[in-house]
Each structure stands twice: as structure tokens, then as C-alpha cells.
């Protein structure tokens, strides 16, 4: 277009006539609208889109870090988290609770995911969708949260069969065992004191640099070590430390954060830790916080299937899948590890919503076709179909199986569906994954669409304990078989420790290329203070009282002391086969919550947190068995349970 200068038109008017100006402005505004509109068609991962569109309008970007569940993903995490950090910094701070609960995913994003994941199970999903949506509507309008006064702590206590802390807080009569237990308590004190001194209020201690670590896993929530330690401090009788922790929860635990969190990690560490602290102590504060946090997690379930996505913004309620999870899928070990905590949230709040959410997941998993009876690790939250046929009892799959048997046990053995699913899964695992090495070691291989990868992760070592605690409840003829299998797996995991220079086990060990329970790749040689092997020692000790489990636990204590204890706390190590170790400068919160707690229980009498009354969540936070009949009867009147 050519603009001719006309007489009587000022320079500021660029020499244009009024009608021309009007056309120009119209053109300009059309252009702006077009550009803005185009933003909606950009892929969600384009940063520009997140900058220009408000949180309530845009769909979450598929970014994120790995779940703690998988060692490999743990390594990928750093890269993804950098991305996450960049995105987080550009976000606004506020969003109302009501908005966050009622938000629904945008159609275009769902459509993309549907295309990627395939739409086979769509008819079935209509059912799941309407259920999930009606449930979330109820979440928006019903009165749930901290105001529950229908739950009676006294009544609950009367329904316990035994005193939670046993006689003399579980102190063993045998002096050598008592001495070992004291040593574990000293380790806890050392880990705690250093955390308190150098990293108070942060998520973890960095013991070499003597500072705190926040990370991105908890969406801006702080004090993970404090929440994870509450019950350990309590059962160890560390009153002063427990009181400091409680006071911090009271004064400084701020749940109004606005960052991207792993739904799984927040659930197992924070919700689990707070619930367990409440049940052990009766302090309303912990219940109130658990309820408040539980409510913030609900929007993650607003997907077409009700299967939650892995990452949730705790402020806005938007949720999305991990960037590394193919085709926007959700991870079995993440959405399958919510059941215990969510059932307790319903129990305490008298609001069924939490239980409905996890029962909906259960329903989908029970109905879906399973290759060879196995549960693959990745599932689309949109179509409800498996995304890949990778199966693992270690990272990405592990605690789903754990929560099946524990759901059954926690329901006072009334949850028959969980029991059935657990035993069928175990049969499929035995038929397809359990292997014997040339040297006679039993291990759980991984399965990649029918092809076996002869590798077992440290994480999979929890399965010795799991198979052990489930042994009593399958068909009676298989009881001994399961106990033997549990013992064999635990033995193999112990071998992975004894075959290293440090007597600590690698992140993953192999059974091919001449390897027998050893790591062959450099990248699998690290140990990050994980608990799973010791966890199985503890359960196997309780089930068999074979003294070797206590001996193996003591070997681990000595190795931890020698290689992981540094001047200002405990640290993971980079290579378990190296004679001079390099430290990773991280005291994981699960070291205090799980590793040290399981060691302490291993050297305690069985009446400290008796298994007749308690199940441990996957972060070792004890949750009580729910005895509905007793609670409905008004409690066991004739029983007096004292501390």
C-alpha cells in the first residue's frame, strides 16, 4: 500500500486521512489478534506460550523430573529440572483454591495425547471420566479438609491390638542387640543434628558443603527431612528433637507454595509423614496439615481417566506428565502408590473423595488387559491404555505391587480385590521375571515387551520383604514357597552388598556377561543411602527370627559408618567398588525416614510398631490398620492400650 501526503494533514498523523487511519488500525488490531490466537496452536512446550497465557488458560507443559523410583531417570532428571526451573521462574504467584479444584484440561492438549496414546479403551473411559469429574466437582463444593471432628483419636487407639511402642519402647533384652540399636540411634542423632545445624528448614542436608538443598521435587515445599523424620524421632524417643520438628511444622511449614511437585513424592513423604506423626502422637496439627496438603493434590486427578499425571503445581492445581515419560504417560509406581495415604485421608476427614480417587485407579487397573498378566510401567491418563510394555519390580513399577498387598493388610484383610490383584501379579512375576543365575542366585529381571533384561535395581530389593509379608495370605500351600522366595531374593540383595569393596550395594546389578549380582556399568555403581535391602532384612527378621538378618543389618551399619559418614552428616557414594570413595554430598531425607528406621526396628523387639497393627508406607511411615468393625462399635471397650 502507498500512502500519499495530503494537504492539511499533520506530520503526527503520518500524512494519513481519517478513513485510511481507520483501515490501518483495523489491520493492526487484526494482526495482533491473529498473533495472540496463534499462541494457542503452539505446542505446550513453547516458552512463549507460557509467558503470554495465564496459568488458568494454558495447559501444562510436559516437562518434569524423574521419580525417585528410577535410578536411570534420576540421572535424566537434572536436565529436565533445569528446564523446569526456567519455566517456573516466569510464573505468577496466585490462584484460588476453588479455581484449582475445578480446572479441567483443555481439549486440544487432550486430543494430542489421545492421538499419541491411541484410543482403544474409549468406551470404558467415558465411565471413568464421568466418575472422575463428578468426584472432583464434589471436591470443589464439599466441606473437606481440616475441620473433621468425626474421627476420634481415642476410639482409634482403642482399636489397636497392641501399644504402638511396645514394652520399654521395643528395647531388646539381649545386650548386644541393645547396643547395636543404640548405635543406630546415635547415627540418627548425628544425621539430624547436622541437618539442624546446616540445613534447617531446607529439604536435605549437603554434608560436605554444609548447606541445605531444596531441589524441585516437592514444588516449593520445604523441610522434607523434618517431615520424613518426625516418626523416626518419636519412636526412637528423641523427645527434644521431635519437639523441634513439631514446632517447625507449627510455625514454618507453609503449604501455600506454587511450584511443580511430584505428586508421588509429596504424597509418600509429606502426606505419609504427617499422617503417621498424627497417628502416633494424636497431635491435631499433623492431621490438619495432612488434610490441607491432601486437598491440594486432588486436581492432579482431573484427567479423562482419573489417572493422575505425575507433576502438579501445588498453587494452581495444573498438572502434567513428566517430560521423559513417553507420550504423556503416567508412571505405574507413581499413580499406583497413593492408595494407603488417600484411604487414610478419607478416614480422617470423613470425606470419601480421596478413597474414590484411588479406587478409580484400582478399577481401571483391575479391568485393563495385562500382557502375560503383567503391569507395564507407563499408562496414558487420557486413553487408559498402556503406552509401552516395560515391566519392572524396581524403578517405575516397584511400590505399585507393594501397595496392593499393603492395601489388603491395611484394610484388616477385607480388601479382597487388592489381594486378588496382588497374588495374580505375583504369579505373573514369578512366571515371567523371576530367574536363577548360573551361580544359584534368585533375582527379578526386567521385561521389555517379552525380552528379559537380566538386571535388578537396588529399588527392587524391597520385594524380599513384600513377598515375605504377603506369604501368609495367599493359598496356604504356597506359604512356605513365598517365604522361601522372599528369603532367596533378600539373600541375592545381600550378595550385591558383600560383592562390593565397600559392602554397600550398587544402584543396579546384573546377571549377564559373566556378572553375578554386580554392577557392570560405571553409571550403576553409586549408592545414595537407599533403604530397600535393609527394609527386607527387617521384614525377614520379623517373619523368621533368623539371626542372619540382624548380622546383615549390622554389616550395613558398619559400612555406612565407614564410607558414608563424613564430618557433617551422611552422604551417598559414587562407586561402591572403589576402595577410596567419592561422596555425592547429599543426605537424602529417606535415609532418616527409612534406612535408619528400618535398622532401628531390626534391632528392636517386634512389639515396637507391631505388624498386627501397622503397615509402613513406601517411605516407611507407619499407618494403622483400619478396623472398621471396631471403630463402628465404638472401640474395643475391654482393651486398654497404653504406651
Q: Residue 523 Cβ, how far from ligand DMJ at the closest point, in Å?
A: 17
Taking Cα atoms as reference points, which of 405, 408, 510 lies closest to residue 462?
Answer: 405
Which residue among 402, 532, 594, 613 is the active-site one?
532
Q: Which of 398, 419, 397, 399 is nearest to 408 (CA)?
A: 419
Binding mask 543-582 for ligand DMJ (x = CB under 6 A): ----------------------------------------
- Residue 342 makes contact with ligand DMJ by CB under 6 A: no
Query: Could you give the CA distance from residue 638 to residue 16 in angstroms, rounded to a whole number?
Result: 96
Q: Which residue is nearest to ligand DMJ (CB)?
A: 618
By the rule CB under 6 A, 530 interacts with ligand DMJ: yes
Please, are residues 511 and 523 in contact by the beta-carbon 8 Å criterion?
A: no
Query: Is 341 part of the annotated catalytic residue set?
Result: no
Q: State the number of binding residues for ligand DMJ (CB under 6 A).
A: 10
**Residue from 569, 619, 626, 630 binding ligand DMJ (CB under 6 A):** 619
Catalytic residue among 231, 347, 398, 415: 398
10 Å Cβ neighbour count for 32? Answer: 10
Minimum CB distance to ligand DMJ, residue 586 (Å): 12
Cell of 630: 471396631
- Which of 530/597 has CB closer to ligand DMJ? 530
CA atoms of 89 and 621, how far apart (whole Å): 33
Please indicate if the annotation marks 618 as binding a ligand. Answer: yes
Question: 213 - beta bridge partners?
Answer: 204
Q: How far apart are CA 75 and CA 411, in angstroms?
A: 37
Assess 385 for contact with ligand DMJ (CB under 6 A): no
Closest to ligand DMJ by CB, 91 or 213: 213
Minimum Å gap between C-beta 531 and ligand DMJ is 6
Q: Is the Cβ of residue 531 or residue 610 nearer to ligand DMJ in the bound state?
A: 531
Q: Is 88 in the site for ligand DMJ (CB under 6 A)?
A: no
Residue 432's nearest CA partner among 452, 459, 454 is 452
Query: What CA–CA distance (Å, rounded) separates 425 from 218?
Result: 31
622 with 162: CB under 8 angstroms? no
Residue corresponding to grid cell 491395611: 410
Nearest to 508 by CA among 491, 533, 540: 533
Are 456 and 462 in contact by the 8 Å Cβ rule? The answer is no
Out of 341, 446, 495, 507, pick the active-site residue: 507
Beta carbon nearer to ligand DMJ, 117 or 461: 461
Candidates 457, 531, 569, 572; binder of ligand DMJ (CB under 6 A) is 531
Contact partners, residue 545, CB within 8 Å, separation at least 6: none
Out of 225, 305, 349, 399, name the contact with ligand DMJ by CB under 6 A.
399
Is 612 a catalytic site residue? no
Nearer to ligand DMJ, 50 or 494 (CB): 494
Instruction: Tell the smallest beta-carbon distance from residue 593 to ligand DMJ (Å).
Output: 8
> What does residue 147 show for φ and ψ, rounded to 5 degrees?
-85, 10
By CB under 6 A, name the one of 170, 207, 618, 635 that touches ligand DMJ.
Answer: 618
401 is a site residue for ligand DMJ (CB under 6 A)? no
Which residue out of 204, 265, 415, 575 is catalytically annotated?
265
Euclidean distance between CA atoms 463 and 610, whole angstroms: 20
Return the closest-CA partner of residue 235 out of 602, 540, 531, 543: 602
The answer to whether 443 and 511 have CB atoms below 8 angstroms apart is yes
Give the max Cα distance, the chain. Answer: 109
Q: CA angle at residue 622 from 405 to 572, to 5 degrees?
A: 95
User: What does the alpha-carbon distance between residue 493 and residue 460 come to, in Å, rounded to a whole number?
Assistant: 9
Binding-site member from 590, 600, 614, 616 for ligand DMJ (CB under 6 A): 590
User: At its nearest, how many Å lie between ligand DMJ and the CB of residue 530?
Assistant: 4
Q: Is 430 a catalytic residue?
A: no
Judged by beta carbon, residue 249 or residue 459, the one nearer ligand DMJ is 459
Q: How far is the CB of 55 from ligand DMJ (least distance, A)?
A: 29
Does 283 engage in binding with ligand DMJ (CB under 6 A)?
A: no
398 among known catalytic residues: yes
Is residue 463 near ligand DMJ by the rule CB under 6 A?
A: no
Encoded one letter per residue, x for contact with ligand DMJ by CB under 6 A and - for no contact, window 30-69 reads --------------------------------------xx
C-alpha 535/C-alpha 420 separation (Å) is: 24
Crossing angle (nearest 10°) for helices 339-349 and 284-297: 120
Q: Which residues are annotated as a binding site for Ca(2+)?
A: 618
Tell me which residues touch ligand DMJ (CB under 6 A): 68-69, 399, 459, 530-531, 590, 594, 618-619
* Catalytic sites, residue numbers: 265, 398, 507, 532
Amino acid at each position: 500500500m502507498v500512502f500519499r501526503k495530503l494537504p492539511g494533514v499533520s506530520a503526527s498523523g503520518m500524512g494519513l486521512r481519517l478513513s485510511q487511519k481507520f483501515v490501518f488500525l483495523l489491520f493492526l488490531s487484526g494482526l495482533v489478534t491473529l498473533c495472540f490466537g496463534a499462541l494457542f496452536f503452539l505446542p505446550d512446550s513453547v516458552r512463549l506460550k507460557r509467558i503470554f497465557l495465564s496459568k488458568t488458560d494454558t495447559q501444562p507443559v510436559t516437562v518434569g523430573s524423574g521419580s525417585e523410583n528410577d535410578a536411570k531417570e534420576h540421572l535424566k532428571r537434572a536436565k529436565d529440572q533445569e528446564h523446569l526451573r526456567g519455566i517456573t521462574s516466569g510464573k505468577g504467584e496466585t490462584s484460588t483454591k476453588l479455581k484449582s479444584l475445578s480446572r479441567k484440561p483443555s481439549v486440544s492438549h487432550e486430543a494430542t495425547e489421545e492421538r499419541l496414546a491411541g484410543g482403544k479403551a474409549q468406551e470404558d473411559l467415558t465411565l471413568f471420566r464421568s466418575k472422575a469429574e463428578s468426584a472432583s466437582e464434589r471436591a470443589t463444593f464439599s466441606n473437606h479438609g481440616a475441620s473433621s471432628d468425626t474421627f476420634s483419636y481415642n476410639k482409634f487407639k482403642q482399636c489397636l491390638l497392641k501399644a504402638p511402642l511396645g514394652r520399654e519402647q521395643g528395647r531388646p533384652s539381649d545386650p548386644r542387640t541393645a547396643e547395636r540399636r543404640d548405635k543406630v540411634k546415635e547415627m540418627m542423632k548425628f544425621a539430624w543434628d547436622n541437618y539442624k545445624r546446616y540445613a534447617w528448614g531446607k529439604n536435605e542436608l549437603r554434608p560436605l558443603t554444609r548447606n541445605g538443598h531444596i531441589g524441585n521435587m516437592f514444588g516449593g515445599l520445604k523441610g522434607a527431612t523434618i517431615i520424613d523424620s518426625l516418626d523416626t524421632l518419636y519412636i526412637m524417643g528423641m523427645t527434644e528433637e521431635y519437639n523441634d520438628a513439631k514446632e517447625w511444622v507449627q510455625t514454618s511449614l507453609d503449604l501455600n507454595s506454587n511450584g511443580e511437585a511430584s505428586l508421588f513424592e509429596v504424597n509418600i513423604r509429606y502426606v505419609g509423614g504427617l499422617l503417621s506423626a498424627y497417628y502416633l502422637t494424636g497431635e491435631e496439627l499433623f492431621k490438619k496439615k495432612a488434610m490441607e496438603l491432601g486437598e491440594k493434590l486432588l486436581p492432579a486427578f482431573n484427567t479423562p481417566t482419573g489417572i493422575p499425571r505425575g507433576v502438579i503445581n501445588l498453587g494452581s492445581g495444573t498438572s502434567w506428565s513428566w517430560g521423559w515419560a513417553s507420550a504423556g504417560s503416567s508412571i505405574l509406581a507413581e499413580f499406583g502408590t497413593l492408595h494407603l495415604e488417600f484411604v487414610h485421608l478419607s478416614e480422617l476427614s470423613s470425606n470419601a473423595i480421596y478413597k474414590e480417587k484411588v479406587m478409580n485407579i484400582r478399577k481401571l487397573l483391575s479391568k485393563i488387559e495385562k500382557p502375560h498378566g503383567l503391569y507395564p510401567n507407563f499408562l496414558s491418563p487420557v486413553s487408559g491404555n498402556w503406552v509401552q510394555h516395560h515391566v519392572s519390580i524396581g524403578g517405575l513399577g516397584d511400590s505399585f505391587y507393594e501397595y496392593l498387598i499393603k492395601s489388603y493388610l491395611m484394610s484388616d484383610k477385607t480388601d479382597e480385590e487388592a489381594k486378588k490383584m496382588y497374588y495374580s501379579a505375583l504369579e505373573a512375576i514369578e512366571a515371567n521375571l523371576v530367574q536363577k543365575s548360573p551361580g544359584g542366585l534368585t533375582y527379578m529381571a526386567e521385561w521389555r515387551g517379552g525380552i528379559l533384561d537380566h538386571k535388578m535395581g537396588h529399588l527392587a530389593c524391597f520385594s524380599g520383604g513384600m513377598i515375605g509379608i504377603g506369604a501368609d495370605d495367599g493359598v496356604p500351600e504356597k506359604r512356605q514357597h513365598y517365604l522361601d522366595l522372599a528369603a532367596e531374593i533378600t539373600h541375592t540383595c545381600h550378595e550385591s552388598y558383600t560383592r562390593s569393596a565397600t559392602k554397600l550395594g550398587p544402584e543396579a546389578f546384573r546377571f549377564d556377561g559373566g556378572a553375578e549380582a554386580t554392577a557392570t556399568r560405571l553409571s550403576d555403581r553409586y549408592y545414595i543411602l537407599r533403604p530397600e535391602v535393609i527394609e527386607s532384612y527387617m521384614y525377614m527378621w520379623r517373619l523368621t527370627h533368623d539371626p542372619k538378618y540382624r548380622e546383615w543389618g549390622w554389616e550395613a551399619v558398619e559400612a555406612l559408618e565407614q564410607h558414608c559418614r563424613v564430618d557433617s552428616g551422611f552422604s551417598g557414594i559414587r562407586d561402591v567398588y572403589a576402595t577410596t570413595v567419592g561422596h555425592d554430598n547429599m543426605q537424602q531425607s529417606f535415609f532418616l525416614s527409612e534406612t535408619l528406621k528400618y535398622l532401628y526396628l531390626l534391632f528392636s523387639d517386634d512389639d515396637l510398631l507391631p505388624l498386627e497393627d501397622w503397615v509402613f508406607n513406601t517411605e516407611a511411615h507407619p499407618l494403622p490398620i483400619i478396623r472398621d468393625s471396631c471403630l463402628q462399635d465404638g472401640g474395643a471397650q475391654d482393651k486398654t492400650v497404653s504406651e
